[in-house]
Amino acid sequence: MDHAADAHRTDLMTITRFVLNEQSKYPESRGDFTILLSHIVLGCKFVCSSVNKAGLAKLIGLAGETNIQGEEQKKLDVLSNEVFIKALVSSGRTRILVSEEDENAIFVEPSKRGRYCVVFDPLDGSSNIDCGVSIGTIFGIYMVKDDHEPTLDDVLQPGKQMVAAGYCMYGSSCTLVLSTGNGVNGFTLDPSLGEFILTHPDIKIPEKGKIYSVNEGNAKNWDGPTAKYVEKCKFPKDGSSAKSLRYIGSMVADVHRTLLYGGTFMYPADKKSPNGKLRVLYEVFPMSFLIEKAGGQAFTGKQRALDLVPTKIHERSPVFLGSYDEIEEIKALYAAEGQME
């Protein structure tokens, strides 16, 4: 995109206009998705504004503390969760919600029900809040096809059944990355307009990458293929340059960089955590969906990540995602150990 020319653009593609354009390609569409998305966007704007004010407003305090007016303070992740749940329920378009913050799924009351199930992590990377590092919201959307009484099976579906996924990163700018199944597009919040504007159209992840991203503190417990891949990144034997390590510890920020610059992001299994750390429904699936739609791959160490069928809403899985060729290498290392399904 030509950023100099952008400074003078008057024809702005807002996220709502973009989704309405997409919707017009499907004559049978009733506009429900556009309404749902506008409620998610509202949640993102609210959280963005709260994150920006966090230091000033002392929102960072522990949940349960009281502020100067004697009101109970809410931690940012608790506040974000409430905001998203209220926005999603009031959209009238949701049926089941699964949030990282809530042990149980929320079944929306019949009078407010719609056709969509939303799985989300309202504020991922919250251990980074206090030091001002980028954090984000991650979401995935499933559609329920008929009007049956909702059950957990409506959300315990493989990630490839999602109809849309995205994340919003609260960083030096507020960026919302979305795929409705057809490519991946990035929108940046213009604070003066209060609108997300298309700034990263049709994102494609580079086929190869010069960066690997993993918590190397866990290296002593890694399995063979992970250890071999990282060794190769650091000491390549084919004459290529060593890769750079970048790890923020905030999945949204690490995946955003991987999407734009290429490379790999990994949260592998290890001896202490055989299923890794990241949650299937609202971390692994939405990010894998976006990476695949941008031309990359996502793999669990055994299979394509989006083929997993979760059996519990807070299930975890190892994940390797990123540039197509890099993930091919990781798959070959697992295949060589006979670990692929």
Identity of the residue, 126 or 317, whose beta carbon is nearer to ligand AFP in the bound complex: 126
29 or 127: CB nearest ligand AFP = 127
- In the complex with ligand AFP, the residue whose CB is nearer, 100 or 154, is 100
Residue 333 CB, shortest distance to ligand AFP, in Å, is: 21
Of 205 and 278, nearer to ligand AFP (C-beta) is: 278
Shortest approach of ligand AFP to residue 141 CB, angstroms? 20
Long-range contacts of 331-336 (CB under 8 A, 24+ apart): 331/297, 331/299, 333/224, 333/225, 333/228, 333/229, 334/225, 334/299, 334/301, 334/302, 336/225
154 or 254, CB closer to ligand AFP?
254
E strand or H helix at 217 = none
Minimum CB separation of residue 106 from ligand AFP in Å reads 20
Shortest reach from residue 318's CB to ligand AFP, in Å? 12
Number of Cβ within a 10 Å radius of residue 314? 16
> In whole angstroms, how close is the CB of 127 to ligand AFP at the nearest point?
3
Nearest-approach distance from CB 99 to ligand AFP, in angstroms: 13
**For ligand AFP, the closer CB: 29 or 215:** 215
**Residue 40: in which H helix or E strand, if any?**
helix 32-57
Task: Provide, rounded to whole angstroms, the least separation between the CB of residue 222 and ligand AFP.
Answer: 13
Pick 136 or 262: Cβ nearer ligand AFP: 136
Tokens found for residue 268: 């592998």
Counting Cα atoms < 13 Å in the Cβ hemisphere of 148 gives 9
Nearest to 116 by CA among 80, 136, 149, 140: 140
Calculate the alpha carbon distances from 86 to 15, 118, 152, 228, 242 in Å. 21, 13, 20, 46, 47
Nearest CA-CA partner of 138 in 331, 328, 330, 319: 319
β-bridge mates for residue 230, sequence order: none
Binding site for ligand AFP (CB under 6 A): 124-128, 215, 249-251, 254, 277-278
Three-state SS at 170: strand
